[in-house]
Amino acid sequence: MANGARVSNVPNWLSGSMVARKHVLFGIGSFLLPLLVWCAVSYLPFVWHPKVLIAAPGGADYFQVGMLVDKSVFDEEFANMQAQNLPVPKGEPANPIYLPAPHEVAKAFYTSFSKAPQQKDLPWLHESLWHSITIIFWGFLISSLIGVPLGVLSGTYPTLSHLSEPFIEFFRYLPAPAFGALAVAVLGIYDAPKIAIIVVGTLFQQILIIANTTRKLDSTIVEAALTLGTKRMRLLTRVVVPGILPDLYRDQRILLGWAWTYLIVAELIGTSSGITWFITQQARYQHFDNVYAAIMMIGIIGFGTDILLARLGRRLFPWDRSQKKE
Choice between 226 and 308, CB closer to another protein: 226
Size of the site for another protein (CB under 8 A): 25
Task: Give the residue among 145, 129, 175 at the shortest CA–CA distance from 252.
Answer: 145
> Phi and psi dihedrals of 90, rounded to 5?
-115, 145
238 makes contact with another protein (CB under 8 A):
yes
Choice between 4 and 34, CB closer to another protein: 4
Of 118, 220, 237, 261, the one binding another protein by CB under 8 A: 220
CA distance readout (Å), 109 to 48, 103, 237: 24, 10, 47
Choice between 133 and 225, CB closer to another protein: 225
Task: Give the residue among 165, 170, 171, 142 at the shortest CA–CA distance from 153.
Answer: 165
Minimum distance, C-beta of residue 121 to another protein, in the bound complex (Å): 53
* Stretch of 77-85, 100-108, 219-227, 302-310 lying at the interface with another protein (CB under 8 A): 219-227
Instruction: Return all residues near 183 (Cβ < 8 A) that are at least 6 apart.
Output: 192, 193, 194, 196, 197, 200, 269, 270
242 makes contact with another protein (CB under 8 A):
yes
Choice between 220 and 286, CB closer to another protein: 220
233 makes contact with another protein (CB under 8 A):
no
243 makes contact with another protein (CB under 8 A):
yes
Q: Name which of residues 71 to 130 contact another protein (CB under 8 A).
A: none
Minimum distance, C-beta of residue 275 to another protein, in the bound complex (Å): 38
230 makes contact with another protein (CB under 8 A):
yes
| Displacement of CA 88 from its chain's centroid (Å) | 48
Amino acid at 288: F
* Stretch of 107-115, 226-234, 248-256, 276-284 lying at the interface with another protein (CB under 8 A): 226-234
CA distance 36 to 19: 25
Q: Are 46 and 94 in contact (CB under 8 A)?
A: no
CA distance 177 to 192: 14
4 makes contact with another protein (CB under 8 A):
no
226 makes contact with another protein (CB under 8 A):
yes
Of 173, 229, 232, 315, the one binding another protein by CB under 8 A: 229
Minimum distance, C-beta of residue 184 to another protein, in the bound complex (Å): 45
Q: Name which of residues 188 to 207 contact another protein (CB under 8 A).
A: none
CA atoms within 13 A on the CB side of 22: 7
* Stretch of 45-53, 84-92, 222-230, 266-274 lying at the interface with another protein (CB under 8 A): 222-230
* Stretch of 82-90, 170-178, 305-313, 315-323 lying at the interface with another protein (CB under 8 A): 315-323
* Stretch of 21-29, 107-115, 159-167, 241-249 lying at the interface with another protein (CB under 8 A): 241-249
> Contacts from 281-286 at CB under 8 Å and sequence distance 24+?
281/119, 281/122, 282/122, 285/118, 285/119, 286/97
Residue 51 pairs in a beta bridge with 70, 94
Instruction: Return all residues near 297 (Cβ < 8 A) that are at least 6 apart.
Output: 109, 125, 129, 275
**Where does this chain bind another protein (CB under 8 A)?**
1-2, 218, 220-221, 223-231, 234, 238-239, 242-243, 245, 317-321
